[in-house]
A and B are shown apart, each in its own frame.
Chain A
Amino acid sequence: MSVGENSLPPEPADALAAVVALRRLADQLEDAAVEQAMRAGWSWPQVSEALGVTRQAVHKKHAKRLIAAGVKLRRRGDERV
């Protein structure tokens, strides 16, 4: 999907609301994608590199939630060489 000049909603209120909704959708997608990766055995450094954010940021945002969801997280010592 491209948001070129042609597809920008004509009403500013609609365009701005779309930004808000897309941010929320992106957050939901991030939650689901990070959980999927961690369930598949990805490590924090791998997920953070894939997302292009720091390891601390990903950890801070998702660790508690994933632990609460019962996801087994790989620890630093488990890194495969």
Chain B
Amino acid sequence: MSAFDKYLHAVIVRAMDEAQDDGSATIDAHHLLLSLAADQGSTAQQVLTSAGLDRATVREALDREFEHSLSMVGVSPAAYGLPGPSHASQQPKMGASARLALERSFACARKKDLRSAHLLLGILQAQFGTVPRALALAGIDQAELEDHVRQTLTSQE
């Protein structure tokens, strides 16, 4: 197992925990983002931090996106006063958005050259979905952040 394989495994395991805490049956791209943001010391985490994104701010942005999207059809989650999501009992499976993010990451570089920043790049390449919407609501310029990641990767080579 290469260092990157180990790193990837740790990222996915953490993303799975995030999905489970979310009560989600699938690991989604935003769970991968939460996982990267929580990963102390990686390049991906450093780039996110420089944009003002740590795990807590990503979580906050995701919660806002949820409420915002519901409000689009006149629904307020607060109106239900639901208890927080209960821990999903089944192990979350890899969802379509996370799969797509990983495929994009792996397409960025040869296997031996893959880094944490490629994972972030794969997530940031999404045009639609929860991640772009949450980032926009948090006032993050996604294209600029993507450029920043690319620069980091070029300077590492």
Residues of A participating in the B interface, judged by any CB pair closer than 8 Å = 1, 3, 7-9, 13-18, 20-22, 24-25, 27-29, 31-32, 35, 60-65, 68-69
7 closest A-B pairs (Cβ-Cβ)? Answer: A64-B89, A65-B89, A21-B69, A17-B69, A9-B72, A18-B73, A18-B72
**Chain B residues within 8 Å of A1, by CB:** 73-75
Contact yes or no, A29 B80, CB < 8 A: yes
Q: Closest residue of chain A to B86, judged by CB? A: A31
Residues of B participating in the A interface, judged by any CB pair closer than 8 Å = 23-25, 65-66, 69-70, 72-75, 77, 80, 82-83, 85-90, 128-130, 133
Q: How far is the CA of A60 from the CA of B82 in the complex (A)?
A: 22
Contact yes or no, A31 B23, CB < 8 A: yes
Contact yes or no, B23 A25, CB < 8 A: no
Contact yes or no, A61 B74, CB < 8 A: no
**Chain B residues within 8 Å of A18, by CB:** 69-70, 72-73, 75
Instruction: Indicate whether A14 sits within 8 Å of B69 (C-beta atoms), given known contacts A1-B75, A28-B82.
Output: yes
Q: How far is the CA of A65 from the CA of B91 in the complex (A)?
A: 11
Instruction: Indicate whether A28 sits within 8 Å of B74 (C-beta atoms), given known contacts A21-B66, A61-B90.
Output: no
Partner of A28, one of B23, B87, B128, B129: B23
Q: How far is the CA of A69 from the CA of B133 in the complex (A)?
A: 33
User: How far does the Cβ of A8 sit from chain B's closest Cβ, in whole Å?
Assistant: 8
